[in-house]
Amino acid sequence: MADTDERDPFLLFRRWFDEAKAAEPNDHNAMTLATADAAGRPSARMVLLKDADPSGFIFYTNLESRKSRDLAANPQAALLFHWKSLRRQVRIEGRVTPVSDAEADAYFATRARGSQIGAWASDQSRPLESRFHLERRVAEVTARYLVGSIPRPPHWSGFRLRPEQIEFWQDKPFRLHDRLVFRREREEWTTVRLFP
């Protein structure tokens, strides 16, 4: 990690993210989202990063999904990027808040039409009686929105994780890895290196 990157975690993240975009064969923006419910039971799943800037890291989902229910009960979460081909990972922890309706509407409008239809058709994380039932719902939504734009469903939106800590991990020979942690203290970032 270059010394100039050790002052701003977002500049370092953007550089690593761009390098992952060029190197990873699929889904360079895939990240593990870890949540916990009100009782502290953890759950982790893969989601896609859709935007990142100093205000936070944004992803979108069905608001009736388990992850959304967890975040409503406990808004603390963690993200993990693992770019295997680059032998790097980035761990991010912080508080999650909903994005604005305008942000969700704007992003939803950019999604592929099939993904928009899927957002209407899926009761994410709830039992599905058969694959045919899902396909029938997709056909019904497709018929409903045969022409024109598809509005964002009221049960679909996004979240922004505002980081309180970001750790950059780079593989090194003999397991002497490079670990740099940024911690937010008020609105300033401090850094510390960790033993591997």
- Bridging pattern class, strands 156-170 and 178-185: antiparallel
**DSSP labels for 110-176?**
HS-HHHHHHHHH--TTS--S-HHHHHHHHHHHHHHTSSS--PPPTTEEEEEEEEEEEEEEE--GGG-
DSSP tag of 28: T
Tokens 């979108």 belong to 60
- Decide if 79 contacts 92 (C-beta within 8 A): yes
The one-letter amino acid code at 23 reads A
Which residues are within 8 A (CB) of 129 and not within 5 positions of it... i.e. 6 or more apart?
A: none
Select which of 14, 41, 87, 175 is catalytic.
Answer: 175
Which residues are within 8 A (CB) of 97 and not within 5 positions of it... i.e. 6 or more apart?
A: 75, 159, 160, 162
175 is catalytic: yes
Give catalytic residue positions. Answer: 175
